[in-house]
Structure 1
Amino acid sequence: MSEATRVLPGQAGTQGAAAARPARWAVFSNEDWWSVWIGLLVIVVAWALFANGSSLKWLAVAPAKWKTLAEAGQGIAAHWPNYLALFAAFALLFGTGLAVLGHSLARFLPAFLTLFVVSLLIFTASAWVEASRYNLEAPLLALALGLLVSNTVRLPEWFQSGLRVEFYIKVGIVLLGATLPLTLLVWAGPVAVGQATIVSLATFFTIFLVGKALGLDRRFAAVLGVGGAVCGVSAAIASGGAVRARREDTSVAITLVVVWAIVMIFVLPFASRALGLSTAVAGAWIGTSEFADAAGVAAAQAYGDAARHAGGAIAGAPDAAVQAFTLMKVVGRDIWIGIWAFTLAWVAITRWNTGDDAVRAKADVREIWTRFPKFVFGFVLASALVTWIASHYSLVDYRKIVTPDLVAPISTLRTWAFTFCFLSIGLTTRLRSLSATGWRPLFAFTAGVVVNVIIGYVLSVHVFASYWNGLGG
């Protein structure tokens, strides 16, 4: 089936309805555009509230940390109006888009209610005080639960209407843009940006070229490459949507990212101590070589705590480990999500199409625009808007004022959207399709891990050590 006629999972019936609409309504004709409008609407509302001294916190509710099940239950009971309002807001936003696209709300709303309730339970489980130790992030728990259910239980037909994988993730990616203002690159400094650029490019091309040499589809190889080069899970899904990779390919990439992220939680702090690295240098190495933000924070924090209790055996301030990690990973590398998504979307359209599709796409710039994933523009616009807002603040004030009252609520809503997506992916994925990929993705990704760790060590410990140690002074 050609790229022109292929219907993506979760979009059946959309293309025909869109084709019947007048051209002037094209901006409301598919999930890509609706994800842009929904994401930007949320961000604009959050900004309007922030500008008037308020916040979206009341709506962007999430379970608080808990130690006992009784505490968890009390937290849900105490905030049930917030959760009810949150469900109504999501149902209104997603439901409006789907209704305009010709889908049945009578089928979607009951399915989405079920999805929301299960997601709330997953979110609550991830708020357990010990969850971070085991890297039990809400989206990852959602994926695991979804895979377990889909491979053991036959889901009812009506429930399929709520599993809008692409819609949820596209909205989540637009919201992700609001948490990554371009101003962060300036605040991080040229060294952090330069090191992140070297690592991102080297790791991506290692995985991509090894994957192609092993016979992997180039779209699959690209998703694996971005997953290893940037921010792991978020980057894998963003690039998967940009190149229109198969849903199974994205699931494999996520699995590999999570596995290696967990491994690195233990390996990198141990290796850093064995090599006698300072806290800041170790934090930079962890930021260069980890594959997920949560896992990296855990590893950097562990090394900082070790320095705090080592009686001077580890050089540097304990907090410098997390500070260096944040500059390298959360700022330097994560900002590459949008760059890779935009670049790969363009390459996929202009270079990777075949036959008549390729000729038409190269000959007519309008064809490129038609095929380009619009949610990538939403990501960029969201980042630009928050960049403009952040430009009025220093880094200290941004973290103290903007982050808790504007960015944090948007980040919470993004996590909800990612959880809906991961749960939907798990509930629509069969493990037999994942096992069919064999050892080649593992080998390709592992090659990138090796390159990532070695280059990260050389740059952090030998090339830019003086810069990183300056953070821990």
Structure 2
Amino acid sequence: MGQEIEKLWKSEDYWAIWFSVILFTGISTGLITVVPKVKKWVSDPLQAVPADLGLWILYLGIALGVLMTIGVAIMREDWRKFFGGFTIVFVLAVVSYIVAAQTTIKAWGLGYAIWALFFGLLIANTIGTPKWILKGAKSEMFIKTGLVLLGGEILFSEILQLGAPGLLVAWCVTPTVILFMWFFGTRWLKMASKRLTIIIAAATSVCGVSAAIAVAAACRAKKAELTLAVGMTMIFTVLMMIGMPALCNMVGMNPAVAGGWLGGTIDSTGAVVAAGAFLGPVAEKVAAVVKMIQNVLIGVVAFVVALFWVTKVDRDPKAPRPSLMEIWYRFPKFILGFAAASVVFSFILMPIYGHEEVSQILKLSKVFRGWFFCLAFVAIGLESNFKELASQLVGGKPIILYIIGQSFNLILTLLMSWIAFGGILFAPFE
């Protein structure tokens, strides 16, 4: 018990929760009223960060750096080297956001994550990442903090917007696709890495990047495994965002059915909304809400994966079954922070403050979450090398798993969307 209490102050899992609690509290009490975002630009990158916004971004970098440096110091790590390395990681995150904010690039769905990975990988695989920068590239700490912040955005009230039809599409298809891809990857393809298999399955069936990083953290995956899964997911997301609305228009698909199909298959909330907008307001609303309902499963899937890994995958077959206390010690605590944030916002803050006030809180926390994820992908890139990535692609099995799994997902989701929104099982959605 004493060891667990000590971890409250010396573990990244717990510090991800403490960082999130501090930020949530600061926003909720009015101490934090602005979280800067890079602006869109067309031809002049300086339009993305005008002078006043640039000053706010500088303040943000200093504030986050100081906050996390305090945590690192309490964890008894070298806080001076962390702060120096963090400064470079933050600058690269800002550059990634600026590139992603260019209007054409944004329209193509090439978000900050892909650019953050690109710049990190470019440095790591050309000049090499200096060791002092790596001290500030704490990808897991950034990821876990961002995930706890994401938990607050998972509001159970959103499930009620589409009711049973939305649940049918989002909650029946998702676990089915995960199980299909898990068994296909481990038993048919016999992929060497079970961690890579489950990350690709989660990214395909739930919500792309967010699900991938949650499950990767839950099963303690390698950086290269997460990088590969995210890279594949983002490439196919762009193709699906462009191709699926065109196909729906070509065949004259019912807007609500099309929306359910888009929301249940495209692996990014932003891409889902953009694709739905091509088909009109009904498709856009259904697509967005189905994706929101599906996002609720991020925490559930991460929790189940973490439990499965502790009790089955990482367990020595010759050793006795781990006790409940051992499971608790090994279980990633940030997942509990994710779940707690969702419960607090859904069932405590929502009734007290109301939807409008909570939406304002989440509007700011969502920007914080984006910065943490961007920092994480920069850090992952700086820690990775192409040789390790190439080793994960031997035989092309990850690509085969993704293509077969996504094909199954597309067919099953279309069927469920037709049943749910096409007037088959429920009244037609208008």
* TM exceeding 0.5: yes
What is the identity, as a one-letter code, of the residue corresponding to 2:311? T
Is the alpha carbon distance of 1:22 and 1:364 closer, same or farther for their aligned partners in structure 2, counting shifts above 3 Å? closer
Identity among equivalent positions (%) equals 25
**In 2: Cα distance, 1:280 partner to 1:363 partner:** 47
Is residue 322 from structure 1 mapped to residue 303 from structure 2 by the alignment? no
Q: Write the mapping of 1:372-451 to structure 2, written as runs, cut at 5 A.
A: 372-389=331-348, 391-392=350-351, 398=355, 400-403=356-359, 405-437=360-392, 438=394, 439-451=396-408
Is residue 64 from structure 1 mapped to residue 39 from structure 2 by the alignment? yes
2:160 alignment counterpart: 186
Residue 377 of structure 1, CA deviation: 0.6
Q: Is the CA contact 2:254–2:422 (under 8 Å) kept in the aligned structure 1?
A: no
Is residue 457 from structure 1 mapped to residue 419 from structure 2 by the alignment? no
1:138 alignment counterpart: 112
2:145 alignment counterpart: 171
Residue 298 of structure 1, CA deviation: 2.0
TM-score, L = length of structure 2: 0.93
Residue 181 of structure 1, CA deviation: 1.7
**In 2: Cα distance, 1:454 partner to 1:222 partner:** 20
Deviations 1:213-244 (A, max 9, x none): 21223222111111111000110010010011
**In 1: Cα distance, 2:109 partner to 2:102 partner:** 11
1:200 alignment counterpart: 174
Q: Write the mapping of 1:207-222 to structure 2, written as runs, cut at 5 A.
A: 207-213=181-187, 214-216=189-191, 217-222=193-198
Residue 390 of structure 1, CA deviation: 5.6
**Which of 303, 307, 321 is 1:342 aligned to?**
303
**In 1: Cα distance, 2:143 partner to 2:232 partner:** 19
What is the identity, as a one-letter code, of the residue corresponding to 1:407? L
Residue 389 of structure 1, CA deviation: 4.7
Residue 23 of structure 1, CA deviation: 5.2
1:15 alignment counterpart: none
What is the identity, as a one-letter code, of the residue corresponding to 2:369? R
Is the alpha carbon distance of 1:459 and 1:79 closer, same or farther for their aligned partners in structure 2, counting shifts above 3 Å? same
**Which of 325, 336, 348 is 1:366 aligned to?**
325
Q: Is the CA contact 2:260–2:421 (under 8 Å) kept in the aligned structure 1?
A: no
Is the alpha carbon distance of 1:448 and 1:103 closer, same or farther for their aligned partners in structure 2, counting shifts above 3 Å? same
Is the alpha carbon distance of 1:366 and 1:248 closer, same or farther for their aligned partners in structure 2, counting shifts above 3 Å? same
Is the alpha carbon distance of 1:263 and 1:70 closer, same or farther for their aligned partners in structure 2, counting shifts above 3 Å? closer
Residue 149 of structure 1, CA deviation: 2.1
Q: Is the CA contact 1:39–1:171 (under 8 Å) kept in the aligned structure 2?
A: yes
1:48 alignment counterpart: 29
Report the 3-state secondary structure (helix = DSSP H, G, I; strand = E; otherwise coil) of the residue aligned with 2:154: coil
**In 2: Cα distance, 1:457 partner to 1:392 partner:** 36
Deviations 1:142-182 (A, max 9, x none): 01221222112222221111110101000010011011122
Aligned-CA RMSD value: 2.2
Report the 3-state secondary structure (helix = DSSP H, G, I; strand = E; otherwise coil) of the residue aligned with 2:240: helix
TM-score, L = length of structure 1: 0.85
Q: Which runs of 5+ in 2 are unaligned?
A: none
Is the alpha carbon distance of 1:185 and 1:157 closer, same or farther for their aligned partners in structure 2, counting shifts above 3 Å? same
Report the 3-state secondary structure (helix = DSSP H, G, I; strand = E; otherwise coil) of the residue aligned with 2:135: helix
Report the 3-state secondary structure (helix = DSSP H, G, I; strand = E; otherwise coil) of the residue aligned with 1:153: coil
Is residue 242 from structure 1 mapped to residue 218 from structure 2 by the alignment? yes
Is the alpha carbon distance of 1:469 and 1:153 closer, same or farther for their aligned partners in structure 2, counting shifts above 3 Å? farther
Is residue 38 from structure 1 mapped to residue 19 from structure 2 by the alignment? yes
Q: Is the CA contact 1:268–1:286 (under 8 Å) kept in the aligned structure 2?
A: yes
Q: Which runs of 5+ in 1 are unaligned?
A: 1-18, 50-54, 304-317
Deviations 1:265-318 (A, max 9, x none): 122112111221122221111111211122222211222xxxxxxxxxxxxxx2
